[in-house]
């Protein structure tokens, strides 16, 4: 793993945030109930006054922020007012309300609630805006409010305060000091409100309502209503935070790396008054190029001695983006990063393959569902995320298929840093309607800058798949810089839903076979071939399994030794398909056990490696090397570069 300057910056911010949030956090009483199954991070998460206090938006970093994670007042239940109705004022709370630990969902141990199907959830806490944010701004005239010149950000900007939610499931409504701030619908996306005009000196009271009917009418992923596999989670499930910004500030960056021409284009979306945007590219802390442009225009910067990003060398360039006023003073500044890499389809061995940086790289990695026995859909700590990804690197994998879930930004940040290619699924929705395309478009938009993401997967098997060819083509139109795998495993269509069949378009013909490899597709003139799921071989490790369920796998093995042999055999079985029949990608089920499924390479509690990693790594590396040999045979051939 290569750590560049960006990591240290983020670390420093996290510490600052922790120090400043500790001062205002509600007393951090920890949960005294026992967890059904603990991870190595359960105790740390349970005792932290402010859990998951890591900078939540590593691709657009500002110095100041405040995590609102921690203890909130809570009430939940189907009989409570429905937040989806968007009432103009919040309901009243009982005198001694329950307490929940945000951002863990109420179903989870770490939330301190551990109840299923709350349906209507209400959260309340108070916060103070840190005084130092207010220097020279004059948001308000209250005592201790708006004093002193200088302070955050140069110039005489008054500034705004933004309230960010990284994700709340699924219909939410937000109130500040008794007034409605706004509403949001969707499980997987971040959203933001400008709360400046409702802020007061001293305590501000924030109330968040969330309604999650679990009716299959919103995207629920593996929690799908009729086929619900694992514990359904709802409510606030990612970080809530505050951020001070100048009036004129950078809202979004769209970063387009261009490896072929050794340059990067950065489009900046600015809110507020006009100014010049200055973009600088840094390598190992040194500025190597910069350019200027207006709001919304693309600034293109050449990169001398370009170094490409890949799983073997996940080199990231840093970005600094500033808004300058007419005097040239800095009005706003953010940092970000990018990887210089290209994704395309091209020929290797006479057949169409997925290319990385113009060359075929066999994509091999686990199916990863992102569930935890203590936080369910919320990882207990940031270290827990790193640990999952590092384990996959240790196995020699270069790919992760993020299955039926969208993760917090930090998960993709670590994939970018450590060097893993990511296939991103749209989490399935049981009864499709217009919500799905809207949510999918937003997910693609919000994760557009992640170098790790190489393929979008709108549908899995027949899980709520509909209009597949149309949505596949539409997905490609939203992001032509990546590959689109329209329906991973269209052949695997159990009887509980109609089977849409092969969409015929997109960039992959993708089938699922358990344990496999089985009937592996071959490339056509327009599509590469993928085995989007195989493996699924199980092993029960007593003391490390989710209690109260019948444990299953597609095939069961009796010991670590036997599972290792089977794992090695399955990777070796890929060889003829890679060497002779054009297989370009394969996804092994799966990263960890998940509740009743015991077919992970790690136990559900992440405490035991269920296969011998040294032996498994040899087999994984051999399969990837088979792809490299094919690519070398084609050396000199420049693949059909994508956009
Ligand atoms: C600019 O950013 C805002 C806030 O994120 C967003 O609503 C808007 O659509 C963006 N504009 C463009 C042109 O992308
Ligand atoms: C900057 O561009 C965005 C997107 O076109 C627009 O929403 C915003 O109002 C613009 N800001 C200014 C200051 O012109
Ligand atoms: C486990 O399987 C047995 C036998 O099929 C069944 O009777 C029982 O209800 C199952 N338990 C759970 C928790 O599903």
Query: pLDDT of 270-311, one tens digit each?
Result: 997 778 999 999 999 999 999 999 878 899 999 999 999 999
- Portion of the chain with pLDDT greater than 90, in percent: 81
- Portion of the chain with pLDDT greater than 70, in percent: 89
Q: Name the residue of 251, 252, 271, 332 whose CB sits within 8 Å of the most ligand 2 atoms, as the mutation to test its pocket.
A: 271
In a domain, 9, yes or no: no
Convert the pLDDT of each residue in 83-96 to its tens digit: 999 999 999 999 99
pLDDT (0 to 100) of residue 632:
84
Peptide bond into 375 cis (omega under 30): no
Q: Which atom of ligand 3 is nearest to the CA of 549?
A: 13
Q: Which structural domain range is residue 374 located in?
A: 358-632
Residue among 418, 399, 394, 415 nearest 617 (CA): 394
Q: Are residues 256 and 212 in the same domain?
A: no
Does residue 252 line the site of ligand 1, with CB under 6 A?
A: yes
Does residue 132 line the site of ligand 1, with CB under 6 A?
A: no
Does residue 295 line the site of ligand 2, with CB under 6 A?
A: yes
Mean pLDDT of the chain: 90
In a domain, 472, yes or no: yes
Q: Are residues 204 and 253 in the same domain?
A: no
In a domain, 282, yes or no: yes
Q: Are residues 311 and 381 in the same domain?
A: no
Q: What is this structure's pTM?
A: 0.92
Mean pLDDT calculated for residue range 475-493: 97
Q: Which atom of ligand 2 is nearest to the CA of 273?
A: 13
Convert the pLDDT of each residue in 127-167 to its tens digit: 999 988 876 554 443 333 332 233 333 333 478 999 999 99
The tokens describing 244, both together, are 């001070």
Q: How far is the CA of 552 from the centre of ligand 3 (A)?
A: 11
In a domain, 159, yes or no: yes
In a domain, 398, yes or no: yes
pLDDT (0 to 100) of residue 18:
38
Would you say residue 359 has pLDDT above 70? Answer: yes
pLDDT (0 to 100) of residue 131:
86
Edge-to-edge strand list for the sheet holding 343-348:
343-348, 351-356, 359-360
Exposure string (b/e) for 600-609, b if CB count within 10 Å is 16 or more?
Answer: bbbbbbbeeb
pLDDT (0 to 100) of residue 634:
66
Q: Are residues 234 and 253 in the same domain?
A: no
Low-confidence winner among 58-62, 113-117, 176-180, 496-500 (lowest mean pLDDT): 496-500
Residue 447 contacts residue 254 (beta carbons within 8 Å): no
Q: Are residues 234 and 254 in the same domain?
A: no
Residue 483 contacts residue 343 (beta carbons within 8 Å): yes
d(CA 406, CA 411): 9
Edge-to-edge strand list for the sheet holding 160-165:
66-67, 240-245, 160-165, 191-194
Answer left, alpha or beta for residue 385, where phi above 0 means left and psi between -120 and 50 means alpha. Answer: alpha
Convert the pLDDT of each residue in 310-340 to its tens digit: 999 999 999 999 999 989 999 999 999 999 9
In a domain, 180, yes or no: yes
Residue 564 contacts residue 612 (beta carbons within 8 Å): yes
Convert the pLDDT of each residue in 170-195 to its tens digit: 999 999 999 999 999 999 999 999 99
Place of tokens 């009271």: 205
Q: Are residues 382 and 517 in the same domain?
A: yes
What is the count of structural domains for the chain? 3
Q: Are residues 154 and 292 in the same domain?
A: no
Mean pLDDT calculated for residue range 29-36: 74
Does residue 268 line the site of ligand 2, with CB under 6 A?
A: no
In a domain, 32, yes or no: no
Mean pLDDT calculated for residue range 489-511: 93
Q: Are residues 201 and 279 in the same domain?
A: no
Would you say residue 21 has pLDDT above 90? Answer: no
Convert the pLDDT of each residue in 51-66 to its tens digit: 999 999 999 999 999 9
Q: What are the helix (H) ranges across 462-552?
A: 468-478
In a domain, 487, yes or no: yes
The tokens describing 439, both together, are 């949510």
> How confident is residue 203, by pLDDT bands cut at 50, 70 and 90?
very high
d(CA 402, CA 422): 7
Does residue 250 line the site of ligand 2, with CB under 6 A?
A: no
Q: Are residues 267 and 227 in the same domain?
A: no
Q: Are residues 186 and 220 in the same domain?
A: yes
Q: Residue 17: what are its φ and ψ, rounded to 5°?
A: -65, -40
d(CA 231, CA 48): 24
Q: Are residues 216 and 270 in the same domain?
A: no
Identify the CATH number of the domain in which residue 301 sits: 2.60.40.10
> How confident is residue 215, by pLDDT bands cut at 50, 70 and 90?
confident
Q: Name the residue of 59, 190, 269, 332 whose CB sits within 8 Å of the most ligand 1 atoms, as the mutation to test its pocket.
A: 269
Q: Are residues 389 and 306 in the same domain?
A: no
Q: Which of 285, 303, 338 is the last residue of a domain?
A: 338
Q: How far is the CA of 68 from the centre of ligand 2 (A)?
A: 29
């Amino acid at each position: 793993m290569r750590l560049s300057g960006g990591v240290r910056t983020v670390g420093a911010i996290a510490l600052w945030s922790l120090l400043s949030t500790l001062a205002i956090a509600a007393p951090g009483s920890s949960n005294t109930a026992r967890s059904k199954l603990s991870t190595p991070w359960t105790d740390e998460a349970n005792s932290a006054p402010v859990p998951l206090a890591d900078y939540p938006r590593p691709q657009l970093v500002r110095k100041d922020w405040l995590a609102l994670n921690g203890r909130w007042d809570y009430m939940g239940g189907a009989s409570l007012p429905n937040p989806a109705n968007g009432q103009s004022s919040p309901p009243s709370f009982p005198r001694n309300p329950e307490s929940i630990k945000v951002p863990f969902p109420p179903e989870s141990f770490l939330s301190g609630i551990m109840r299923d199907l709350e349906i209507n959830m209400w959260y309340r806490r108070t916060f103070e805006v840190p005084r130092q944010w207010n220097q020279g701004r004059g948001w308000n005239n209250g005592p201790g409010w708006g004093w002193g010149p200088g302070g955050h950000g140069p110039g005489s900007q008054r500034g705004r305060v933004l309230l960010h939610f990284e994700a709340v499931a699924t219909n939410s409504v937000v109130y500040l000091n008794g007034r409605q701030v706004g509403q949001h619908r969707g499980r997987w996306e971040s959203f933001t409100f400008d709360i400046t005009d409702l802020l007061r000196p001293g305590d501000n009271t924030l109330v968040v309502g969330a309604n999650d009917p679990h009716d299959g009418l919103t995207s629920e992923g593996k929690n799908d209503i009729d086929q619900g596999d694992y514990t359904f989670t709802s409510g606030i499930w990612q970080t809530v935070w505050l951020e001070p910004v100048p009036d004129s500030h950078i809202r979004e960056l769209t970063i387009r790396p261009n490896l072929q021409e050794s340059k990067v284009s950065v489009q900046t979306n600015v809110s507020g008054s006009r100014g010049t945007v200055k973009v600088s590219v840094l390598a190992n802390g040194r500025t190597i190029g910069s350019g200027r442009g207006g709001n919304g225009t693309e600034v293109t910067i050449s990169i001398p001695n370009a170094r490409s990003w890949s799983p073997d060398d996940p080199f990231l360039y840093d970005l600094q983006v500033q808004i300058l006023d007419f005097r040239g003073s800095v009005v706003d500044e953010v940092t970000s990063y990018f990887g210089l890499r290209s994704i395309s389809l091209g020929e290797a061995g006479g057949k169409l393959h997925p290319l990385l940086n113009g060359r075929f790289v066999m994509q091999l990695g686990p199916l990863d569902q992102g569930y935890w026995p203590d936080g369910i859909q919320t990882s207990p700590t940031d270290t827990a995320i790193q640990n999952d990804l590092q384990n996959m690197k240790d196995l020699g994998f270069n790919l992760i298929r993020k299955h039926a879930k969208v993760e917090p930004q930090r998960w993709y940040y670590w994939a970018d840093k450590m060097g893993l290619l990511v296939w991103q699924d749209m989490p399935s929705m049981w009864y499709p309607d217009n919500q799905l395309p809207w949510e999918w478009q937003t997910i693609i938009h919000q994760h557009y800058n992640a170098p790790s993401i190489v393929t979008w997967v709108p549908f899995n098997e027949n899980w709520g798949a509909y209009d597949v060819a149309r949505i596949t083509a539409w997905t490609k139109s939203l992001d032509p810089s990546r590959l689109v795998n329209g329906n991973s495993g269209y052949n695997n269509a159990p009887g509980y839903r109609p089977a849409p069949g092969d969409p015929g378009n997109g960039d992959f013909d993708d089938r699922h076979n358990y344990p496999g490899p089985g009937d592996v597709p071959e490339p056509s003139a327009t599509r590469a071939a993928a085995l989007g799921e195989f493996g699924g071989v199980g092993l029960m490790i007593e003391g490390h399994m989710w209690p109260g369920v019948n444990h299953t796998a597609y095939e069961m093995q009796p010991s670590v030794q036997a599972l290792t042999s089977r794992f090695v055999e399955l990777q070796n079985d890929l060889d003829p398909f890679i060497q002779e029949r054009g297989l370009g990608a394969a996804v092994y089920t799966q990263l960890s056990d998940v509740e009743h499924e015991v077919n992970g390479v790690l136990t559900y509690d992440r405490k035991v490696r269920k296969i011998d990693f040294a032996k498994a790594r040899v087999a994984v590396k051999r399969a990837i090397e088979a792809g490299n040999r094919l690519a070398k045979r084609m050396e000199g051939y420049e693949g059909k570069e994508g956009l």
